[in-house]
């Protein structure tokens, strides 16, 4: 039998019979999938730590624990693996076991290899379809979010930059003496900031991760060029060289919104610190300014649609939606001076299946 799912699964076999493990490993690998085995429950638990798992075959009667207990541990994994119990058909009523433990099925002993072939390929095809369906829903949600962002970015941010650019060009046209290096640098900086923002809507490779630090530096440099008295300091704690998930370029909108709010409510000479620190699988970004802070009567609903002290109230609402889409959070932290926002984001998983 040849593989037809075109989806490579990570498969774990747990049985105290080493020959059974080796036989099943060989079958799975011949189908084009990746396989790993364990002879005990505790060994299996160590195997699945920090590894992605799609399918598990678990012997009901393990030497160190009940197979049902191991299944409970396996089902805690985020990817919700399909688990099949290996056991004598006479031991437990199969239908009751499936219902009680929410497992995908029971493989009876003695094991029939053709059944394993069918189970692996059927499950791989199912998981492939589920993944494609999930990816399609994510793409639709991202597209809808980008439409909302594009509407706000074009109607507000890009138009403001364009008006600033046209205003400076108008001054130059009225008096050529206004054409100097400062004017040229300003025009270039405004145009660059517009390009950074409009780059949000370019088609991109969904599987290509984004370098977060490069994104932040490029945007903050453009702000300090447009507003020469503004000071933005980036502080990186731990390792700041990391990748964020696909879609992370929408973070440009979030940071642009936060920085433009600082310009609006603090001053064009505001001092800003962006503090980036990384944990094991999360990154924290704090954005602190020295402005007057957020007025108290809107703090509790700051990220709700329509909340604003001026006309608008969509920027922080959409910023929250972007961050949540990327699996993170954004909040306003208490501080004695200015405003301090904290963004928490997941880092791209580096987990890879390895053989032991």
Mean pLDDT of 15-30: 92
pTM listed for this prediction: 0.57
Q: 330 and 235 in one domain?
A: yes
Decide which of 54 and 222 is more confident. Answer: 54
Q: How many domains does the chain have?
A: 2
pLDDT score, position 355: 38
Mean pLDDT of 310-335: 84
- Domain assignment present for residue 123? The answer is no
Mean pLDDT of 37-51: 90
Q: 215 and 325 in one domain?
A: yes
Q: 261 and 159 in one domain?
A: yes
> Which range among 114-128, 132-146, 176-190, 220-234 shows the weakest confidence by mean pLDDT?
176-190
> Which range among 45-59, 140-154, 324-338 shows the weakest confidence by mean pLDDT?
140-154
- Domain assignment present for residue 201? The answer is yes
Q: 105 and 171 in one domain?
A: no
Residues spanned by the domain of 70: 10-111
pLDDT score, position 266: 84
Q: 100 and 140 in one domain?
A: no
SS3 183: helix
Mean pLDDT over all residues of the chain?
A: 80
Mean pLDDT of 303-329: 80
Which of the given ranges, 234-238, 313-317, 342-346, has the highest pLDDT on average? 342-346
Mean pLDDT of 207-223: 75
- Domain assignment present for residue 5? The answer is no
Q: Where are the beta strands (DSSP E) in the chain?
A: 10-14, 34-38, 55-59, 82-88, 105-109, 210-211, 231-237, 243-244, 271-278, 282-289, 329-333, 340-346
Q: 63 and 144 in one domain?
A: no
pLDDT score, position 100: 59
Q: 268 and 156 in one domain?
A: yes
């Amino acid at each position: 039998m040849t593989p037809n799912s075109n989806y490579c699964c990570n498969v774990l076999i747990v049985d105290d019979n080493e020959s059974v493990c080796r036989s099943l490993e060989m079958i799975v690998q011949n189908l084009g999938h990746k396989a790993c085995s364990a002879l005990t429950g505790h060994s299996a638990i160590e195997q699945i730590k920090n590894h992605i798992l799609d399918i598990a075959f678990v012997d009901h009667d393990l030497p160190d624990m009940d197979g049902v207990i191991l299944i409970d541990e396996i089902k805690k994994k985020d990817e919700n693996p399909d688990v099949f119990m290996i056991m004598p058909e006479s031991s437990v009523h199969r239908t009751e076991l499936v219902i009680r433990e929410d497992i995908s099925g029971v493989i009876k002993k003695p094991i029939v290899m053709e059944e394993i072939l069918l189970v692996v390929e059927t499950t791989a095809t199912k998981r492939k379809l589920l993944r494609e369906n999930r990816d399609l829903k994510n793409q639709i949600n991202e597209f809808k979010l980008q439409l909302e962002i594009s509407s706000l970015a074009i109607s507000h941010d890009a138009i403001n930059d364009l008006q600033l650019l046209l205003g400076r060009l108008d001054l130059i046209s009225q008096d050529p003496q206004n054409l100097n290096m400062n004017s040229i640098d300003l025009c270039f900086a405004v145009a660059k900031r517009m390009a950074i923002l409009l780059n949000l809507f370019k088609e991109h490779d969904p599987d290509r991760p984004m370098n977060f630090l490069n994104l932040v530096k490029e945007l903050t440099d453009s702000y300090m060029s447009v507003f020469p008295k503004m000071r933005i300091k980036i502080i990186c704690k731990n390792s700041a060289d990391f990748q964020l998930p696909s879609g992370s370029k929408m973070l440009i909108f979030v940071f642009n919104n936060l920085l433009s709010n600082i310009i609006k409510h603090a001053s064009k000479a505001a001092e800003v610190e962006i503090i980036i620190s990384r944990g094991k699988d999360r990154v924290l970004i704090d954005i602190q300014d020295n402005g007057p802070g957020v007025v108290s009567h809107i703090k509790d609903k700051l990220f709700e649609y329509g909340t604003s002290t001026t006309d608008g109230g969509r920027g922080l609402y959409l910023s929250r939606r972007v961050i949540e889409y990327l699996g993170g959070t954004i909040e306003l932290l208490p501080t004695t001076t200015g405003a301090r926002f904290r963004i928490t984001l997941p880092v791209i998983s580096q987990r890879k299946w390895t053989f032991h």
